[in-house]
Amino acid sequence: MSTRPLAPGELDEWLTATAAAVGKRAYDVAHRLIRMPASASSVHTALGGRTVHAFRESTTYALILLETGAADEAAGILDRVLDGQDLDLVSDTYGIWPYYLEEPLARMARPDTNWADFIGQELVLIMIRHAAALPDQLRQRLRTAIAAAAEAVVRRNVPMSYTNIASKGTFVTLGAGQVLGDPELTRYGRERIERLAATVHDTGSFAEYNSPTYWLVTCTAMSAISQYITDQRSATIAAELVDRLWRHLVQRWHLPSGQLSGPMSRAYRDDLGEEPHLLAHLAKAVGGQPPFDSALERVGDSPAALGLIHTAILGPDAPADVVRQLVTAAPPTMRRELFSRDRVGSTWLHAKNTLGTINFADCWFQRRNLLGYWGANDAWRHPPRSVRLRVVKDDVDFVSAIFSAVQEGPHALWHVGFASPGGDHHVHRNVIPSGEPVPMRSLRVLFEIRGVTDPVIRVNGAPGNSFTLHDQVTVSDDGSTVSIIPAGGSWNGSPPAGRITAGANGVLTVEVELFSAPEPQPIDLSSLDSAYVGGAFSLLPNGETAASPSVSMHAAGNQARWSWTPDAHLELTGRTTVGTVEEHGDTHTATIDRQPPAIPPPTK
């Protein structure tokens, strides 16, 4: 890409042309479907890594072709896609599609019911924008497919806390009601968006908070409702939610590093430069102003870029004050937001760095419970300089680990305990029942530091690569210092060990190891006498230090209370013993200067 049209109309043309070129390269004429590698990380398919023909991406490509006037080719793809939908009314998978032609629903590891929402959205957009360009017989098939997808959405009726699917399914049902002239579907869709709005208004924020991927899914669905749905009540609510989504996003936008700061409920990457859809959406919102003009250089040629068509046909609708905040560096700011009834996010934004933490959450691989970036005037650096906390069992993120924190400015106290029953590597699947041993070779808390080129590593001020409790580990690079103090912890009575390692892809890891064995051992979490670790964390400009580097811990019964005064007086309480998630929540307390963190009231 040598040129980038930046005026709004030209940008839409560029986005459409880029998406069309990506689709053309991936299109298999013989199968009339997009050809691509199967997802290697999805729990729904057993085809990971193989080359396959994908139904969702093919439907998006059909929409792109219709936008560019290639209706005949689009019609051929749509006929092929519609063949893949389950239209058996008594089937558990009625109304949905498999991921791939090579793996029918009956052979999938776990059919993904979200495909009624994802593919249904594309079909509704096609019918609303391009029905007149399609043959009569295909239009009738599309009506049947949309009706089945909408029925699948209604049958499932997800909770409104499932933000992105709650939003996308609302567009599908409202769109189906409009396309089919079905007042019951319209009534359901209107009632559903009212429920979604009530869920959001309850706290003023989103249960799937600050998710680079699913923020865009939700915003796109709400924009589609506000722009294309004729039910005025639904369109008005959707426009209000779009406004709220933009204000939610900009609260953690860090212009110097070109990143969304933490915390995040659901993220797949730590580099916003690897989210081309979101970058394109932001670029359109700000009219191509720097640094977003150069951000478009990050748009790749993978099939994921097909989704650029949604930004092209759905205006971002960002409020003017949000646009200003996206392109204007702000003074140092501490922000807190109530995401849901028991989730509070804290984010420090500074000219040189940013740090975000969540007060309480599990450690699923999609969580970004402690996440920081640094680098002034360094937007879109790849990879960005970043630090992230993970808890891994046998090198895989461990859902049963429970994280808690309290943060003020660039300083935070953190605690990791463990839940039983609890998830293994997925929040809803692979649950480990209480009392059931699970094979375990290692259990570690990792602070992964990426993007550093020539770091200075110190343990208590001297070079070193190992540490113990109460030691201070510092990693300094490009004007900022990461400081980590593990101040207490135990695994069945044994203290954790610490080491600093340099791994593949330039990742520097500060590891706190709770358990290690040469071969996997059967571990019953619920039988352990103690299982926890905690301490202090800072992300500071070089030359700045915490006023009091020492962290105190007082353990009594099944609780540990951490206390630290880097600037403000921070206190955090967590469990020292394994308990249920609810028991961890009951134990958790956090104060700043002996008061609960002040949270701005939600904007209703």
Q: What is the pLDDT of residues 240-249, one digit of tens each?
A: 999 999 999 9
Q: Each residue of 363-414: pLDDT tens digit?
A: 999 999 999 999 876 777 788 999 999 999 999 999 999 999 999 999 999 9
Does position 301 have pLDDT exceeding 80, yes or no?
Answer: no
Q: Which pLDDT does position 382 carry in this prediction?
A: 80
pTM (predicted TM-score): 0.94
3-state DSSP call for residue 147?
helix
Q: Which pLDDT does position 315 carry in this prediction?
A: 79
Nearest to 474 by CA among 447, 451, 506: 447
Please tell me the distance from the alpha carbon of residue 285 to that of residue 510, in angstroms, as a whole number: 38
Please tell me the distance from the alpha carbon of residue 159 to that of residue 166, in angstroms, as a whole number: 7
- DSSP 8-state assignment for residue 425: S
Q: Does a cis peptide bond (omega within 30 degrees of 0) precede residue 383?
A: yes
Average pLDDT for the chain = 93
> Would you place residue 341 in the very low, low, confident or very high pLDDT band (cuts 50, 70, 90)?
confident
Residue 264 buriedness (CB in 10 A; 0-12 / 13-18 / 19+): buried
β-partners of residue 200 are none
Does position 5 have pLDDT exceeding 80, yes or no?
Answer: no
Angle at 398 between CA 397 and CA 404, to 5 degrees: 105
Nearest to 158 by CA among 217, 211, 117, 111: 117
> Would you place residue 4 in the very low, low, confident or very high pLDDT band (cuts 50, 70, 90)?
very low
> Would you place residue 547 in the very low, low, confident or very high pLDDT band (cuts 50, 70, 90)?
low
E-strand spans in 333-437? Answer: 333-340, 343-349, 353-358, 360-362, 370-374, 385-393, 396-397, 401-408, 411-418, 422-423, 431-432
Percentage above 90 pLDDT, the chain: 81
CB 455 within 8 A of CB 449: yes
Q: Each residue of 497-540: pLDDT tens digit?
A: 999 999 777 799 999 999 999 999 999 999 999 999 999 999 99
CB 590 within 8 A of CB 405: yes
Please tell me the distance from the alpha carbon of residue 356 to that of residue 537, in angstroms, as a whole number: 11
Neighbours of 584 (CB within 10 A): 23
| Runs of H (alpha helix) within 204-334 | 212-228, 232-250, 276-285, 292-295, 308-313, 320-327
Does position 78 have pLDDT exceeding 50, yes or no?
Answer: yes
> Would you place residue 546 in the very low, low, confident or very high pLDDT band (cuts 50, 70, 90)?
low
Q: Which pLDDT does position 1 carry in this prediction?
A: 38
Neighbours of 489 (CB within 10 A): 24
